[in-house]
């Protein structure tokens, strides 16, 4: 638990950020959770009103406050549409940190974050072991999507349709990479992210293939840790700081012009949250900001830096889902679409409400699955309504959620990452 002086300082910082909210209610019109529940405490305005009296509320009803703060997807839609520019996601992350400092982490989260996630070698070993034995507990659900479901009722898994752990994670196929650029192409650091590494290694391989095709030098060091967003979202700032520090110490040793990642969540975390939320040694701030300034989504990099342009050649219809962290946090929307239209044999077909949240929200999906499923089913409805036989996105977490929703209804729609489709059309 945090000491009282640190809590008081964090509360003061929170108060300074809350004053900008005009309580206009604009967030009601865009919040995907409020659209499902209609409850004021599920929308940003209601939560910000709660935080006005957080010091007293967390003493009177700490569990109630904690529960309401965690009923949020952290999708950033409210912040992106706020006329006052309130940084809602940052406020909620700080509030969660305050509550965790006051209440402490649950034993389960402590074991996951402090025992596993903060130790990359142990984390990798445990999941590698899990990949070997997962077949004992799961069975195939949808052959097209490669999804699975539980053989019997199990906690956490429940009745979900999910992608299993890859038989061989990316860090086993490509433990590290260091290559020189060709000609005047840039040298690029690659941060695959946990979900790509352990569930969608083909996305990481497609990223490396595309970079090599364009002559980029690659710096992908071994020993990378989680970007830290799961711990930060649960208020565990100590583990977040430890993970940021571990990654920065690895990447600052290399020479590179850009850092790219195929994970929208990792991109937003590194670019936005590493500089703003890191609370460790102040001397690390310069290196953190230096990395953040050079961080880009892989589609953004290929289009904006390498000059990839859409082709007029048409092909199979592919629709696109905008990941919240890419659209709302970073304003990256056109580049993935350009990359799709530059992919051989693909033609973009927009779906209704392409920018709406898929309902994943990381731990929100675990804690509030029924709500997550309702939001996700709306996304699945829009995907099917597009008439496309494939849906692409730029976030592996969104891929997991969309796979679950489409697999349940046997929609016959394939789920891909944009970079996969682009790399598939490149010469071997």
Q: Where are the domains of the chain?
A: 4-104, 170-303, 309-424
Pair of tokens at residue 267: 């991109």
Question: How many Å apart are CA 172 and CA 315, to the nearest integer?
Answer: 34
Residue 50 pLDDT > 90, yes or no?
Answer: no
Name the DSSP letter for residue 319: E
Q: What is the pLDDT of residue 3?
A: 61
Q: What is the mean pLDDT of residues 394-418?
A: 97
Name the DSSP letter for residue 33: H
Residue identified by tokens 């953040």 is: 292
Question: How many Å apart are CA 189 and CA 250, to the nearest integer?
Answer: 11
Contact 189, 219 (CB under 8 A): yes
Integer angstrom CA distances of residue 240 from 113, 228, 246 = 9, 5, 10
Query: Higher pLDDT residue, 58 or 226?
Result: 226
CB within 8 A of 257, min separation 6: which ones?
186, 187, 188, 294
For 147, phi then psi, to 5°, come to -90, 160
Q: What is the pLDDT of residue 155?
A: 67
Task: State how beta strands 258-261 and 295-297 pair.
Answer: parallel
Question: How many Å apart are CA 232 and CA 213, to the nearest integer?
Answer: 36
Count H helices, E strands: the chain?
Answer: 25, 12
Q: What is the mean pLDDT of residues 392-413?
A: 97
Residue 157 pLDDT > 90, yes or no?
Answer: no
Tell me which CATH code domain 309-424 carries.
3.40.50
**E strand or H helix at 306:** none
Name the DSSP letter for residue 302: I
- The answer to whether domain 170-303 and domain 309-424 are alike in fold is yes
Distance of CA 345 to the CA centre of its chain: 28
Q: What is the pLDDT of residue 4?
A: 62
> Could you write out the DSSP letters of every residue in 227-295?
-SHHHHHTT-HHHHHHHHHHHHHHHTTS--SEEEES-HHHHHIIIIIHHHH--S-GGGHHHHHHHHHTE
Residue identified by tokens 């940003």 is: 44
Average pLDDT, the chain: 93
Label residue 30 by pLDDT band (50, 70, 90).
very high
For 239, phi then psi, to 5°, come to -65, -40
Question: How many Å apart are CA 26 and CA 16, to the nearest integer?
Answer: 21
Residue 156 pLDDT > 80, yes or no?
Answer: no
Distance of CA 154 to the CA centre of its chain: 25
Alpha carbon dihedral 97, 102, 103, 107, in 10-degree steps, equals: 60
Residue 12 pLDDT > 90, yes or no?
Answer: no
pTM of the model: 0.94
Q: What is the pLDDT of residue 399?
A: 98
Tens digits of residue pLDDT in 283-339: 999 999 999 999 999 999 999 999 999 988 778 999 999 999 999 999 999 999 999
CATH pick for 170-303 out of 3.40.50.1860, 3.20.20.150, 3.20.20.70, 3.30.450.20? 3.40.50.1860
CATH pick for 4-104 out of 3.30.70.1140, 1.10.1060.10, 3.30.420.40, 1.10.357.10? 1.10.1060.10
Tens digits of residue pLDDT in 158-169: 789 999 999 999
Tens digits of residue pLDDT in 243-254: 999 999 999 999
Residue 220 pLDDT > 60, yes or no?
Answer: yes
Q: Residue 177 forms beta bridges with which residues?
A: 220
Residue 49: Cβ-neighbour burial (10 angstroms; 0-12, 13-18, 19+):
middle
């Amino acid at each position: 638990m945090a000491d009282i002086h640190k809590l008081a300082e964090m509360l003061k910082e929170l108060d300074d950020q809350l004053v900008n909210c005009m309580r206009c209610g604009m967030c009601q019109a865009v919040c995907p959770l409020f659209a499902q529940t209609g409850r004021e405490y599920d929308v940003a305005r209601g939560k910000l009103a709660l935080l006005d009296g957080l010091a007293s509320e967390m003493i009177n009803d700490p569990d109630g406050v904690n529960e309401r703060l965690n009923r949020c997807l952290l999708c950033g839609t409210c912040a992106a549409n706020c006329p006052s520019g309130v940084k809602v996601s940052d406020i909620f992350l700080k509030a969660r940190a305050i509550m965790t400092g006051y209440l402490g982490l649950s034993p389960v989260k402590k074991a996951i974050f402090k025992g596993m996630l903060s130790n990359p070698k142990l984390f990798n070993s445990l999941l590698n072991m899990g990949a070997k034995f997962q077949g004992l507990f799961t069975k195939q659900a949808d052959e097209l999507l490669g999804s699975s479901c539980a053989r019997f009722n199990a906690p956490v898994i429940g009745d979900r349709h999910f992608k299993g752990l890859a038989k061989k994670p990316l860090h086993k196929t490509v433990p590290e990479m260091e290559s020189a650029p060709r000609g005047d192409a840039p040298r690029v650091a690659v941060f695959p992210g946990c979900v790509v590494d352990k569930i969608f290694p083909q996305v990481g391989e497609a990223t490396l293939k595309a970079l090599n095709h364009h002559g980029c030098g690659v710096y992908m060091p071994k020993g990378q840790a989680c970007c830290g967003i799961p711990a930060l979202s649960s208020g565990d700032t100590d583990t977040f700081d430890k993970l940021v520090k571990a990654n920065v110490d690895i990447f600052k040793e290399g020479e590179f012009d850009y850092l790219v990642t195929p994970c929208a969540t990792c991109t937003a975390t590194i670019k936005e949250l590493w500089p703003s939320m890191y609370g460790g040694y102040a001397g690390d701030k310069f290196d953190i900001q230096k990395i953040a300034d050079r961080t880009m989504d892989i589609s953004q990099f290929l289009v904006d830096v390498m000059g990839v342009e859409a082709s007029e050649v048409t092909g199979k219809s592919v629709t696109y889902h905008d990941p919240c962290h890419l659209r709302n946090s970073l304003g990256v929307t056109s580049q993935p679409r350009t990359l799709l239209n530059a992919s051989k044999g693909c033609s973009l077909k927009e779906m209704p409400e392409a920018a709406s949240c898929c309902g994943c929200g990381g731990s929100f999906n675990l804690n509030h699955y029924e709500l997550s499923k309702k939001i996700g089913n709306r996304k699945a409805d829009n995907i099917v309504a597009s008439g496309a036989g494939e849906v692409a996105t730029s976030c592996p977490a969104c891929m997991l959620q969309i796979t679950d929703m489409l697999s349940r209804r046997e929609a016959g729609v394939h789920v891909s990452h944009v970079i996969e489709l682009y790399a598939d059309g490149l010469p071997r």
